[in-house]
């Protein structure tokens, strides 16, 4: 998308995760949450990406430096809220005054490129200064509510500030936004920290823009689960389950046969060719490629492997291996070599 850029907020510690890693490096379906987010941004044809780091920032920055494309990095030394994180990247914005910026959280791994692109289309079509990515959910508790008047967005009300009426609103803020950069820069210095936490919140930018007469709207995501994040291991498990089902269904729709889905897990970066069958208790992840007409499982694990066509493989663990093509008459291929070009 021309004249667009993205800021990914990834400074949080995630204390309730009880992990020593930065929160955004915790895996969902074998892949760090922030890599899900970066991939979605990249698949939206946004190449100009900035990440705001914080907790254990050197670990995260090292991970980002090893990606196959560049991400600009800014360190939020004091974590004083989402607007403060954006202010940390003010130089990134000032160099892109004629752009639109997507701002989103690095711990919302299910936000997909379709949602990002559709929201951007509406943002440009309506000539908005800001477009909130929202969703309608059955249980809006803990989310900021999108309040409308005559169909127009008039404010975002956080959960702690809801009354009996606004608490019933089921359109909620995802925490992801498209902003016109000039408009955002005009109000960022005026966001205040008049709250119990003494933090600067990005949703306050919406109120300031509205007060300035700017045009604001929301794009409602077609799938409500795209806004989900995780603050503890129980919520992380929910994300894992949603992501697992998503990719199992993707491959079933593609034509992959699964007589029973029990125990089958397929990672987001796996490639499977036509006429394959996957049996229970098969775990396939990393940069694994499965060739034509293979029968995989039961009880098989592949990590970063290349499997040639016509193989029948079960009851084994393979990591960083090439398994060559097998003839249709063979039941098991033992021709394998170390796969040097695919890394963990």
pLDDT, position 329: 54
Per-residue model confidence as pLDDT tens digits over 233-249: 999 999 999 999 999 99
- What is the pLDDT, as a whole number, of residue 337? 41
> What residue numbers bound the domain in which 299 lies?
255-338
Q: What is the pLDDT of residues 250-290, one digit of tens each?
A: 999 999 999 999 999 999 999 999 999 999 999 999 999 99
| Co-location of 209 and 260 in the same domain | no
**Rounded to a whole number, what is the distance in angstroms from the first to the last CA of the chain?**
31
Question: Is residue 343 domain-resident?
Answer: no
Which residue(s) pair with 29 in the sheet? none
pLDDT of residue 340: 36
Alpha-carbon span 251 to 60, nearest angstrom: 32
Give the pLDDT mean for 211-236: 95
The beta strand positions in 88-151, using DSSP E, are 100-105, 130-136, 145-149
Domain of residue 274, CATH code? 2.160.10.10
pLDDT at 135 over 70: yes
Is 12 in the same domain as 57? yes
Does residue 184 share a domain with residue 139?
A: yes
Instruction: Report the C-alpha gap between 21 and 15 in whole angstroms.
Output: 10
d(CA 211, CA 157): 15
Distance (Å, whole) CA 186 – CA 62: 33
**Is residue 312 included in any domain, yes or no?**
yes
Flag whether 212 is in a domain: yes
- How confident is the prediction for the chain on average, in pLDDT? 93
Q: Which residues pair with 79 in a beta bridge?
A: none
Residue 286 maps to a domain: yes
Model confidence over 43-80: pLDDT tens digits? 999 999 999 999 999 999 999 999 998 999 999 999 99
CA distance 330 to 293: 12
What does 64-79 look like in DSSP terms, one character per residue? HHTSSS--EEEE-SS-
**pLDDT, tens only, 139-156:** 999 899 999 999 999 999
DSSP 2-45: TTEEEEEEE----GGG--SS-GGGSEETTEEHHHHHHHHHHHTT
Count how many residues are written for the chain: 344
Handedness of CA 121, 127, 129, 131 (dihedral sign): negative
pTM: 0.92
Q: Binning pLDDT at 50, 70 and 90, where does residue 336 land? A: very low
Order of strands, sheet of 271-272, starting from the edge strand that comes earlier in the sequence: 271-272, 289-290, 306-307, 321-323, 336-338
Confidence check: pLDDT of 338 > 80:
no
CATH number, domain of 212, equals 3.90.550.10
Return the percentage of the chain with pLDDT > 70, whole number.
95
- Domain boundary among the residues 189, 208, 227 is at 227
Percentage of residues of the chain with pLDDT beyond 90: 91
């Amino acid at each position: 998308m021309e004249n667009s850029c993205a800021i990914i907020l990834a400074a949080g510690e995630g204390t309730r995760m009880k992990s020593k890693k930065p929160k955004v490096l915790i895996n969902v379906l074998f892949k760090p949450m922030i890599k899900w987010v970066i991939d979605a941004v990249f698949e939206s044809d946004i190449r100009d990406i900035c990440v705001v780091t914080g907790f254990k920032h050197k670990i995260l920055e090292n991970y980002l430096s090893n990606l196959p494309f560049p991400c600009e990095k800014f360190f939020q030394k004091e974590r004083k809220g989402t607007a403060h994180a954006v202010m940390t990247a003010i130089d990134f914005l000032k160099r892109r005054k004629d752009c639109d910026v997507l701002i989103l959280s690095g711990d919302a791994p299910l936000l997909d490129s379709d949602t990002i692109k559709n929201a951007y289309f509406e943002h440009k079509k309506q000539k908005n200064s800001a477009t909130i990515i929202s969703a309608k959910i059955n249980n809006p508790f803990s989310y900021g509510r999108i309040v409308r008047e005559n169909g127009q967005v008039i404010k975002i009300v956080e959960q702690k500030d809801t009354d009996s009426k606004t608490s019933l609103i089921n359109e909620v803020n995802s925490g992801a936004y498209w902003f016109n950069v000039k408009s955002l820069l005009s109000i960022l210095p005026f966001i205040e920290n008049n709250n119990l936490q003494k933090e600067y919140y990005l949703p306050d930018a919406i109120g300031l823009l509205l007060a300035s007469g700017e045009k604001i709207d929301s794009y409602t995501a077609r799938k409500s689960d795209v806004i989900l994040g995780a603050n503890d291991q129980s919520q992380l498990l929910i994300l894992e389950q949603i992501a697992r089902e998503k990719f199992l269904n993707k491959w079933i729709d593609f034509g992959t046969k699964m007589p029973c889905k029990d125990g089958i897990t397929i990672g987001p970066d796996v490639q499977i060719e036509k006429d394959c069958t996957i049996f229970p208790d098969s775990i396939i992840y990393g940069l694994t490629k499965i060739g034509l007409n293979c029968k995989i499982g039961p009880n098989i694990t592949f990590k970063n492997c290349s499997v040639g066509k016509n193989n029948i493989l079960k009851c084994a663990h393979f990591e960083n291996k090439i398994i060559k093509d097998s003839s249709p008459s063979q039941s098991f291929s033992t021709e394998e070599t170390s796969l040097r070009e695919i890394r963990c």
